[in-house]
């Protein structure tokens, strides 16, 4: 039974495999993919079926690969256009005619293709004048003397008049003892061009001079024909070879540029053309002057006659460039308008490429290209002479565009990579050179290829212009030399850029002046803060602690100075660049011009971080105590057991500690509240930047559109604009939130700071906060009802009486409502405060300092708490004549300067404080510092990562981390200083 089942399974699988289709044939219209190179010698590539087809008998693949030819020694017998047959030639006529249809005897030898071959100076004749084939071919000698002066043409089948240089030199078609070079004949003695020429091309990137076949075949003939015969094409070809050699000059006078320079000097008598002294008649214009050092005069003397404008009726943002295109052999090809891919190697859409020529739009395009593709697309280089089109109406004018070739050498030095005063500007560029690197044959693969890996067009704004005038633009080109090993795997990175710059010296000077003035003011302000701090700690001595405190204060104030300057700078460029009509300002360039700005931002962030950490440490180390005014309201029975008898006593009922715990928990909760919602702040900024599209304002172009088409070119972001935009939005939204919370939310919904003061009054608790040794804050929470530890009915009754003004006011001074004070206490009061807490500090010290008889730590805390509560309560009640205090208002200048002019010598001073400035020891009272720190953190992350989203995430994370740190350490400090068990702080 099992065997039958197994056989049935095998049969089923077999049937399934038979009916299952082949996955390679599941697509009914799929074909095999073949290339012409895949076809063998006996096959040709059929362009109709796109596949390799076999040739017929006695046939082989043609040179093109798209048809078949008869093999050597066979002629075409018959053909119908689509196919043909081949027949072998008989032994008496072994050669095949040039057309391939006949057999013939030869007067001499045969070529490799099986056709007749004639000696030099002769042409092959296979038919008579009527076209009848001869039995034997003839070799007719062309008459190279007068009057015929003929020579075989390039096909070798016709005698034509020989080249003029032969006739002029030897009066015949034979060069004889003269110099034959490049198919031309030159006299041997009267040439200023040396016959021993250097055909090497210097590839400086590879430190490799390479003998060039192209230079070997054409350099001398081009130079000689240019000089002797004034051959314009030869002159252009000579100039092109100098461009291939990177316009480089050396002590060698027989290289391409040396020969050009020799001819340039030899033809000085001919004068110049187009009224340009550097443009010699008959020669291409390659250099600005005969020596380096003309750059400043060429680039910074005469501005362009046309101005540029971003807006208005006279809007002009078109950068009009045209090029004259030449071939490698010196032929003029055509004029082209620059705007497509004629100067840009990176492939892209025409509309995006045209964005490079919109004035004010910083253009950057980078890509990686295959060496094999470059060899295929650029078999020979093209040469470009660039011009700025200044045409207005019927007047057609062009301004030549100077070129800075970064690979150009002058006596072995890369002269254009240094100071501008040393530059040697030139003309004419090429993009890809696959010709000069061919070493053995012009048909062979080049050994080295040279590519324009970096092309940059730079515009310089005329200083002080209000009409958008610029100096002539500069074309900077850097080339990369590629040693070709495997073209299919090799790549090269290329870039094209257009940028705009202006002289920022004046702006830099103004920034330095502002920094100096505000920095000096911040020094004075920090000194005032330090003096105030010295007075508040009650120490007249100046030591290292004082210097360190001054530096910490100065760090915060200087951070504000840097922040104001950087935000002001960013807003200035954002407003004036985007809103201008006629161009008068341009953005700082990435690199050196932005480095100074980034340094200022880094200083602002670093110094603000120091200030923030300083405040964090201050807030988590303040001294605080909750004064409980509640007193026992009755006596409770207490049973005492002793000597076997029980005795009942009536002691005062204990005061509940829960009110203290409740107030401590509320204080713990408000330690990290802020005047804004940090989450809303981040979401609002991110929404405006990424969703609404405000980030588009930071792009380096003159447009203010918030939404851009995905198909349009998107320029890079400006770090200055990006910082100014992000910082401005963050500050504006933060200020709007502060206004909203202060004017509306805290007035009509919830004000946690004032609610805490009310809670103290209801709880019959006062709060003493010492942020410094002899300075702090006091919240008077003594209940006007005498008791707060009561039931609900009595509590509601008390609140009702207070609402109806049937009881006293809450203020410390009778008939006043002021409950919050800034306090400046005497050193005697502070010493007594420390003396009460001293046993607790000894307990936390080394074990040898702990008093073993002091009892259990909990008992110590309880005694210290009760002692401190009674002591501070008696101080408020004026029970200590030697520790009295007075209540007064702060002077106007005291409030402005943040310091107290009067020093508490004999009496402490309580300053009325209706602004609840005790929040200075909370996050709430330091919103400005927190807001600026968050702003700088967000901007610094964005400047580094160029991502608003990442900056928002990290900013939110740091807010959570620092809030957690503040809560954790602040809670421990609260438990230690108020003597409240930390287990009750929830």
Half-sphere exposure (Cβ direction) of 14: Cα atoms closer than 13 Å: 6
332: its two tokens:
């003029």
Cα gap 507→469, rounded to integer Å: 19
Q: For the full predicted model, state whether its pTM sits above 0.85.
A: no
Confidence label for 104 from pLDDT (cuts 50, 70 and 90): very high
User: In the predicted model, what is the mean pLDDT of residues 244-271?
Assistant: 88
Q: With CA atoms as reference, report the closest residue to 232 among 265, 263, 276, 207.
A: 263
Confidence label for 4 from pLDDT (cuts 50, 70 and 90): very low
Which of 653-667, 848-862, 892-906, 938-952 has the least mean pLDDT?
848-862
User: In the predicted model, what is the mean pLDDT of residues 846-865?
Assistant: 62
| pLDDT attached to residue 25 | 47
Return the H-helix or E-strand segment holding 398: strand 398-400
- Quick one: three-class SS letters along 868-921? HHHHHHHHHCCCCHHHCEEEECCCHHHHHHCCCCCCCCCCEEEEECCCCHHHHH
User: Does the pLDDT at position 1 exceed 50?
Assistant: no
Q: With CA atoms as reference, report the closest residue to 980 among 745, 718, 765.
A: 765
Confidence label for 19 from pLDDT (cuts 50, 70 and 90): very low
Query: Which is more confident, 562 or 110?
Result: 562
* Omega before residue 147 within 30° of 0, cis: yes
Report the range out of 258-267, 347-356, 453-462, 590-599 with the highest average pLDDT.
Answer: 453-462
| pLDDT attached to residue 644 | 55
Cα gap 72→865, rounded to integer Å: 119
Per residue in 503-550, pLDDT (tens digit) is: 888 889 999 999 999 999 999 999 999 999 999 998 888 889 999 999
User: Does the pLDDT at position 845 exceed 70?
Assistant: no
Exposed (0-12), middle (13-18) or buried (19+): which is 37, by Cβ within 10 Å? exposed
DSSP structure class, residue 115 = S
Confidence label for 243 from pLDDT (cuts 50, 70 and 90): very high
Q: What residue spans define the domains of the chain?
A: 36-139, 159-280, 295-504, 626-635+651-658+751-923
| pLDDT attached to residue 228 | 82
| pLDDT attached to residue 860 | 78
| pLDDT attached to residue 26 | 45
| pLDDT attached to residue 645 | 56
In contact, 918 and 777? CB cutoff 8 Å: yes
Mean of per-residue pLDDT scores for the chain: 87
List the end-to-end C-alpha distance of the chain, in Å, as a whole number: 77
Return the H-helix or E-strand segment holding 944: helix 927-945
| Helices 719-740/678-686 angle, 10° precision | 140
CB count in 10 Å sphere of residue 811: 17
Strand partners, 409: 414
| pLDDT attached to residue 741 | 93
User: Does the pLDDT at position 786 exceed 70?
Assistant: yes
CB count in 10 Å sphere of residue 792: 7
Per residue in 333-387, pLDDT (tens digit) is: 999 999 877 899 999 888 888 999 999 999 999 999 999 999 999 999 999 999 9
In contact, 216 and 199? CB cutoff 8 Å: yes
Cα gap 871→882, rounded to integer Å: 13
| pLDDT attached to residue 153 | 83
Confidence label for 643 from pLDDT (cuts 50, 70 and 90): low
Q: With CA atoms as reference, report the closest residue to 926 among 625, 684, 685, 613.
A: 613
User: Does the pLDDT at position 7 exceed 50?
Assistant: no
In Å, how far from its chain's centre is CA 585?
Answer: 21
User: In the predicted model, what is the mean pLDDT of residues 699-716?
Assistant: 88
Confidence label for 650 from pLDDT (cuts 50, 70 and 90): low
User: In the predicted model, what is the mean pLDDT of residues 928-957?
Assistant: 95
User: In the predicted model, what is the mean pLDDT of residues 414-441?
Assistant: 92
Confidence label for 886 from pLDDT (cuts 50, 70 and 90): very high
């Amino acid at each position: 039974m099992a065997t039958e089942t197994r056989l049935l399974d095998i049969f089923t699988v077999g049937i399934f495999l038979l009916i299952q289709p082949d996955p390679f044939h599941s697509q009914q219209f799929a074909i095999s993919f073949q290339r012409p190179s895949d076809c063998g010698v006996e096959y040709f590539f059929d362009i109709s079926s796109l596949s390799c087809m076999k040739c017929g008998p006695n046939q082989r693949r043609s040179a093109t690969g798209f048809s078949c030819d008869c093999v050597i020694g066979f002629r075409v017998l018959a053909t119908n256009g689509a196919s043909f047959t081949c027949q072998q030639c008989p032994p008496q006529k072994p050669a095949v005619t040039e057309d391939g249809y006949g057999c013939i005897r030869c007067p001499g030898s045969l070529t490799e293709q099986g056709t007749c071959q004639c000696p030099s100076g002769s042409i092959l004749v296979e038919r008579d004048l009527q076209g009848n084939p001869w039995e034997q071919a003839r070799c007719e000698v062309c008459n190279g003397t007068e009057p015929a002066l003929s020579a075989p043409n390039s096909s070798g089948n016709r005698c034509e008049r020989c080249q003029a240089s032969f006739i002029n030199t030897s009066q015949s078609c034979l060069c004889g003892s003269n110099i034959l070079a490049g198919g031309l004949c030159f006299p041997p003695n009267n040439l200023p061009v040396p016959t021993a020429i250097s055909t090497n091309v210097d590839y400086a990137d590879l430190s490799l001079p390479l003998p060039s076949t192209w230079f070997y075949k054409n350099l001398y003939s081009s130079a000689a024909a240019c000089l002797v015969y004034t051959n314009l094409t030869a002159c252009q070809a000579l100039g092109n070879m100098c461009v291939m050699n990177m316009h480089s000059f050396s002590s060698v006078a027989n290289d391409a540029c040396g020969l050009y320079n020799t001819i340039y000097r030899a033809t000085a008598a001919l004068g110049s053309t187009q009224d340009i002294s550097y443009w010699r008649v008959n020669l291409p214009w390659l250099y600005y002057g005969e020596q380096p050092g003309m750059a400043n005069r060429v680039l910074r003397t005469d501005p362009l006659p046309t101005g540029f404008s971003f807006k208005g009726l006279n809007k002009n943002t078109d950068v009009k460039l045209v090029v004259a295109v030449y071939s490698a052999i010196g032929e003029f090809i055509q004029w082209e308008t620059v705007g497509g891919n004629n100067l840009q190697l990176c492939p892209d859409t025409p509309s995006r490429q045209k964005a490079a020529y919109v004035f004010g739009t910083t253009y950057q395009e980078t890509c990686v290209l295959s060496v094999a593709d470059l060899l295929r697309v650029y078999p020979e280089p093209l040469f470009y002479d660039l011009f700025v089109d200044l045409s207005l109406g019927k007047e057609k004018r062009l301004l030549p565009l100077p070129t800075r070739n970064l690979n150009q050498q002058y006596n072995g030095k890369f002269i254009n990579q240094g100071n501008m005063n040393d530059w040697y500007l030139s003309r004419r560029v090429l993009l890809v050179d696959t010709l000069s690197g061919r070493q053995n044959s012009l048909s062979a693969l080049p050994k080295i290829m040279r590519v324009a890996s970096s092309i940059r067009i730079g515009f310089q704004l005329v200083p002080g212009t209000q009409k958008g005038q610029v100096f002539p633009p500069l074309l900077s080109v850097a080339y990369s030399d590629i040693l070709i090993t495997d073209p299919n795997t090799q790549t090269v990175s290329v870039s094209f850029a257009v940028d705009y710059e202006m002289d920022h010296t004046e702006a830099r000077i103004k920034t330095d002046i502002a920094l100096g003035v505000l920095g000096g003011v911040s020094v004075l302000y920090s000194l005032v803060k330090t003096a105030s701090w010295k007075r508040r700690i009650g120490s007249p001595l100046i030591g290292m602690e004082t210097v360190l405190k001054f530096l910490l204060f100065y760090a915060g104030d200087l951070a504000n100075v840097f922040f104001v300057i950087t935000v002001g700078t960013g807003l200035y460029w954002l407003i004036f660049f985007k809103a201008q009509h006629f161009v008068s300002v341009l953005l700082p360039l990435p690199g050196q011009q932005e480095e100074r700005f980034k340094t200022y931002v880094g200083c602002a962030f670093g110094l603000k971080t120091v200030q923030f950490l300083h405040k964090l440490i201050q807030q988590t180390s303040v001294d605080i105590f909750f004064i409980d005014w509640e007193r026992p309201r009755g006596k409770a029975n207490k049973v005492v057991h002793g000597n076997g008898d029980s005795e009942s006593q009536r002691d005062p009922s204990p005061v509940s500690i829960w009110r203290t715990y409740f107030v401590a928990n509320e204080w713990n909760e408000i330690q990290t509240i802020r005047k804004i919602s940090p989450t809303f702040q981040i979401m609002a900024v991110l929404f405006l930047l990424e969703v609404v599209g405000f980030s588009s304002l930071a792009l380096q172009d003159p447009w203010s559109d918030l939404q851009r088409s995905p198909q349009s070119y998107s320029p890079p972001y400006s770090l200055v604009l990006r910082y100014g935009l992000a910082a401005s939005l963050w500050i504006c939204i933060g200020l709007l939130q502060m206004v909203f919370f202060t004017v509306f939310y805290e007035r009509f919904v919830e004000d946690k700071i004032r609610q805490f003061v009310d809670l103290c009054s209801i709880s019959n608790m006062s709060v003493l906060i010492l942020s410094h040794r002899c300075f702090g804050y006091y919240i008077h929470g003594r209940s006007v009802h005498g008791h707060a530890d009561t039931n609900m009915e009595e509590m509601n009754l008390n609140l009702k009486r207070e609402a109806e003004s049937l009881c006293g006011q809450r203020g410390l001074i009778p008939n006043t409502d002021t409950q919050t004070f800034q306090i400046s206490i005497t050193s005697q009061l502070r010493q007594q405060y420390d003396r009460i807490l001293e046993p607790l500090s000894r307990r936390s010290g080394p074990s040898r300092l702990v008093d073993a008889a002091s009892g259990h730590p909990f008992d110590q805390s309880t005694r210290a708490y009760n002692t401190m509560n009674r002591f501070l309560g008696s101080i408020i009640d004026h029970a200590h004549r030697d520790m009295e205090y007075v209540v007064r208002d702060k002077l106007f200048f005291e409030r402005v300067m943040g310091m107290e002019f009067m020093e508490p010598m004999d009496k402490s001073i309580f300053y009325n404080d209706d602004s609840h400035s005790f929040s200075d020891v909370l996050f709430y009272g330091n919103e400005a510092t927190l807001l600026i720190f968050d702003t700088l953190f967000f901007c610094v992350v964005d400047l580094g990562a160029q991502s608003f989203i990442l900056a928002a995430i990290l900013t939110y994370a740091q807010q959570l981390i620092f809030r957690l740190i503040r809560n954790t350490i602040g809670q421990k400090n609260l438990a230690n200083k108020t003597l409240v068990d930390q287990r009750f702080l929830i």
